[in-house]
Amino acid sequence: MNKKASVPEKAKPFRLVKYFTFTSLVVIFIGTVVLSFLTTHWVRSVQYEKSREFARLLVESLNHQVFMQFILPVGLKYGKIELRNQEQFERMDSVVRSTLHSFKVDMVNIYGMNDIIAYSFSKELIGLQNMGGTSYKKALSGQLTSKMVQKGSFFELLIGVPKEVKIITFAPLRAEKPLSPISGPVLGVVEIVQDLSNDYRRIFRVQVLTLITVSGVMSLLFGILIYVVKRGEDIIRKRAMEQLKLKEQLSQTKHLSSLGEMVAGISHEIRNPLGIISSSAELLKKKIKKDSALIPIANIISEESARLNTIITDFLNYARPQSPNLYPCNLIEIIEKNIAFLEPQIEKQNYKIQVDFPSKPVKVMADADMLYQAFLNILINAMQAMPNGGDLSIAVKTSPEGVMLLFDDSGSGIPAAIKSKIWDPFFTTKDKGSGLGLGIVKKIIEAHGGQIRLDNRPGGGTRVIVKIPFHHGD
């Protein structure tokens, strides 16, 4: 009877450990979910503030360029500003687009003093009146205002991934006083629209991946715990039924030792993810009062939070899809600029460049700066494949669908073992290479609706084939 009565008594400590461990895992998981949402909210807040500051800098740059390159020269030439004049409008358009061509700006509107849109990226908006609203009036009084506009279904807004997210900034367009830090009178209002939809989708994907990862880790820990608990309960039952008191004591000692190892192992497995998860508490520092008892805890984990933020930032800058500013450009001129830039290195290392270009300009709708970067990376890779000099040929061929560019070098070609990895980010065979060069080239070409392929030439060397369509729509 004593033995039977002793079974529940011996099982109680184990059950307490089991319940405590299960409860701890549940609390940790719930805390992880909450911290994930807080982290996402913080990242979105940081994204909004950075975009707002970015818009302010863009407005300052645009204000300076418009005043110096448009208002002053046009005022001197014509006596007054009239954007209905085609020549003046084209000049304004050239100044605005050249200033913003390398930045991700969705829309630019410039209002006159009577709330009429005098200039816009969209010709349909030009001439519309009373479109600025309260933000326009604040800009006239010298204030810079920004607001976020989100569009989507109720569910999309609820989970934080709206179909469309834009930041609209209104700022005064001022006259500038040379050699004076004081700005002149307000001449109009500039409206800049930034599209953050893709950034918000990336943030949401990171949040989903975080939740999936944490759920997977917690599921694994639950599975291990259940297995260990069942085994432990079986052992306890068997040992509790043994006849000899000494064996029961030895069995109890073994059980305690086993339980100790189990708890130590689980604690070790929990400590690492818990430490990283807890680092998200850094986000609460700005909302906690300085005299709060939570400040020391937040300070202890701030270093891990900073490291995590750096890793996330490096990843978005490489993902941000590159949005080309499409306008008619001559591919031959772009390649000739590449060759001119590389001319000193070509002469120094005895490279021989052969070109096969059509007699007429080859114009496509593209972003000349982005294609210049892509072609330059291709040429540099070809030259690096021939460290002692060699032949490099460039051919441009046209078809009704688009343009095909062929870059041939006389290097050693691409080894079969690494051919499947050449597009992988951070993969490189160079001592100092980052492994992102070809990845960036591919992103640029694909952003133009084109294709890129690398092949080994039958006679030796590598051929890079780039196809760019004449017409490309998003």
pLDDT at 318 over 50: no
Q: Which of the two residues, 40 and 465, has the higher pLDDT score?
A: 465
pLDDT band of 71, cuts 50, 70, 90: confident
66 or 19, higher pLDDT: 66
Which of 189 and 201 is assigned the larger pLDDT?
189
The per-residue pLDDT for 14 is 59
Most trustworthy range by pLDDT among 132-146, 330-344, 414-428: 330-344
* pLDDT of 250: 62
Identify how many contiguous H helices and E strands the chain contains and give both numbers: 12, 12
Residue 343, pLDDT > 60, answer: yes
Contact 228, 236 (CB under 8 A): no
Amino acid 339: pLDDT: 92
pLDDT score at 301: 60
How buried is residue 40: exposed, middle or buried, by Cβ count under 10 Å (0-12/13-18/19+)? buried
pLDDT digit string, tens, across residues 288-301: 766 666 666 666 66
Residue with tokens 């030796």: 460
Q: Report pLDDT for 465.
A: 92
**403 pLDDT above the threshold of 90:** yes
| pLDDT grade for 426, boundaries at 50, 70 and 90 | low
Concatenating the DSSP letter of every residue in 305-316 gives HHHHHHHHHHHH
Query: Tokens 């209104």 sit at which residue?
Result: 170
Q: What is the mean pLDDT of residues 361-390?
A: 88
Q: Give exposure, 73-102, as e/b (b: 16+ Cβ within 10 Å).
A: ebeeeeeebebeeeebbebbbebbeebbee
Q: What is the pLDDT of residues 42-66, one digit of tens each?
A: 777 887 788 888 888 888 888 888 8
Q: Tell me, what's the pLDDT at 430? A: 64
- What is the structure's pLDDT at 238? 72
Q: What percent of the chain has pLDDT over 70?
A: 73
Per cent of the chain over pLDDT 90 is 10
pLDDT at 267: 42
| Cβ count within 10 A of residue 215 | 13
How large is the average pLDDT for residues 1-20? Answer: 55
Q: What is the DSSP string of 296-351?
A: HHHHHTHHHHHHHHHHHHHHHHHHS------EEEEHHHHHHHHHHHHHHHHHHTTE
**So what's the pLDDT on residue 281?**
59
CA 271 – CA 256 distance, rounded (Å):
22
Contact (Cβ atoms closer than 8 angstroms) between residue 167 and residue 179: no
Taking each helix axis from N to C end, the angle separating 197-240 and 302-319, rounded to the nearest 10 degrees, works out to: 130
Which has the higher per-residue pLDDT, 212 or 427?
A: 212
140 or 313, which is more confident?
140
Place 279 in a pLDDT band, splitting at 50, 70 and 90.
low
pLDDT for residue 244: 60
In 34-182, DSSP assigns E strands to: 107-111, 117-120, 145-151, 164-176
Cβ proximity of 14 and 233 under 8 Å = yes
Assigned fold of 327-469: Heat Shock Protein 90 (3.30.565)
pLDDT of residue 18: 67
**To the nearest whole number, what is the mean pLDDT of the chain?**
76
Torsion, Cα of 60, 101, 49, 317 (10° steps): -140
Segment among 15-24, 116-125, 300-309, 353-362 with least mean pLDDT: 300-309
Domain parsing of the chain, residue ranges: 1-321, 327-469
Interatomic CA distance for residues 434 and 293, integer angstroms:
44
What CATH number is given for 1-321 in this structure? 3.30.450.20
With cut-offs at 50, 70 and 90, classify the pLDDT of residue 213.
Answer: confident
pLDDT digits (tens, 9 = 90+) for 431-463: 554 455 677 788 888 888 899 988 888 888 889
Q: What is the mean pLDDT of residues 74-87?
A: 81
Query: Which of 132-136, 138-142, 317-321 comes out lowest in average pLDDT?
Result: 317-321
Average pLDDT estimate for 207-228: 78
Confidence of residue 468 (pLDDT cuts 50, 70, 90): very high
Task: Give the phi and the psi of residue 398 in degrees, each rounded to 5.
Answer: -110, 155
